[in-house]
Amino acid sequence: MSATPPDRRYATSHEWAKQDGDVVTVGITPFAVEQLTEPTYLELPAVGRSFAAGDELGVIESVKSTSPVYAPVAGEVVERNEGLVDGPGRKADLGLVNDDPLGRGWMVRIKLAPGASLDHLLTADQYAAQIAGH
């Protein structure tokens, strides 16, 4: 898979947002994972919390760094990827983010707030140009 598939939009802070009706799936890009190296910890918001676009949604850590994950769109968290956080009798598997950030490493699903859209986000081409200039 391309590192910047055209089926979704991108934030300059390296999150991706893929719309399906009024629900948007959110994750971080392969470029972000490469910069972070080997995620060791992820904090995700509880289902039901609402965010404005650009709000801090969670925190991702690697051995070397702690980085915020921002909400690319406004809305309410309706689902989160429970495989990425510790649960009863289950350890977080951040390998999903490391190995498949655009797929199985998705983080949350956000129901768009009334009137909210993805229009402010970068297209795949624009984002590819941003990371090429890095």
Partner 1 sequence: MPSNLRTPLYDWHAGHGARVVPFAGWDMPVQYAGIGPEHRAVRTAAGLFDISHMARVDFAGPDALKLLELVFTNSVAGMRDGQVRYGLVCRDDGGILDDILVYRWPYGFAAVVNASNREKILAWLDRHRAGLDVQVADRTFDTAMVAVQGPKAVELAAGLFADPVGHLKYYFATPTRYKDRPCVVSRTGYTGEDGLEVIVPNELAVPLWEDLLARGAVPCGLGARDTLRLEAAMPLYGHELSEEIDPIRAGLGWAVKLDKGPFIGREALRQPSDKPVRVGLVLDGKRAAREGTPIVSAEGTPLGTVTSGSFAPWLEQSIAMGYVPAAYAAPGTRLKVDARGTLLDAAVAPLPFYKRPKQARAPE
Tell me: does residue 76 bind partner 1 (CB under 8 A): no
Tell me: does residue 59 bind partner 1 (CB under 8 A): yes
Nearest to 60 by CA among 4, 17, 105: 105
Minimum distance of partner 1 from residue 47's CB (angstroms): 19
Tell me: does residue 23 bind partner 1 (CB under 8 A): no
User: Which of 40, 50, 67, 123 contacts partner 1 by CB under 8 A?
Assistant: 40
Tell me: does residue 38 bind partner 1 (CB under 8 A): yes
d(CA 96, CA 64): 19
User: Which of 20, 63, 88, 132 contacts partner 1 by CB under 8 A?
Assistant: 63
Cβ atoms within 10 A of the Cβ of 58, count?
21
Q: Work out whether the CA dihedral 38, 11, 21, 58 comes out positive or negative.
A: positive
